[in-house]
């Protein structure tokens, strides 16, 4: 879960160490406020797997953040 004050740039800075990020999107409600969740899309599966292996279940950002793998059906 992201701190609701964090931006896409904050998320990119954390994940860019693992590869080329094609998309970074924070989920937002109709009011534009963060829902505390983001999706990061890498150029390759190997880059995504490296991020998952390094960060899965870890607390990585101030206040609260947890990294988990999204379902491929999403």
Q: What is the CATH classification number for the domain harbouring 35?
A: 3.30.70.330
In a domain, 33, yes or no: yes
- The pLDDT assigned to 57 comes to 74
Question: For residue 64, is it within any domain?
Answer: no
**Nearest CA among 66, 1, 65 for reference residue 27:** 1
The mean predicted confidence, pLDDT, of the chain is 84
Let me know if residue 40 belongs to a domain: yes
Domain count, the chain: 1
Q: Kindly state whether residue 18 falls inside one of the protein's structural domains.
A: yes
1 located within any domain: no
pLDDT in tens, 2-20: 788 889 999 999 999 999 9
**Chain CA centroid to CA 39, Å:** 5
Which string of DSSP letters, residue by residue, matches 13-34?
HHHGGGS-EEEEEEEE-TTS-E
What pTM, to 2 d.p., does this model score?
Answer: 0.73
Enclosing domain of residue 19: 8-55
């Amino acid at each position: 879960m992201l701190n609701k004050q964090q931006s896409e740039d904050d998320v990119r800075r954390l994940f860019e160490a693992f590869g080329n990020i094609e998309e970074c999107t924070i989920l937002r409600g109709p009011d534009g406020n963060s829902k505390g969740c983001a999706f990061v899309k890498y150029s390759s599966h190997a880059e995504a797997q490296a991020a998952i292996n390094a960060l899965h279940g870890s607390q990585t950002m101030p206040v609260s953040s947890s990294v988990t793998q999204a379902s491929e059906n999403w």
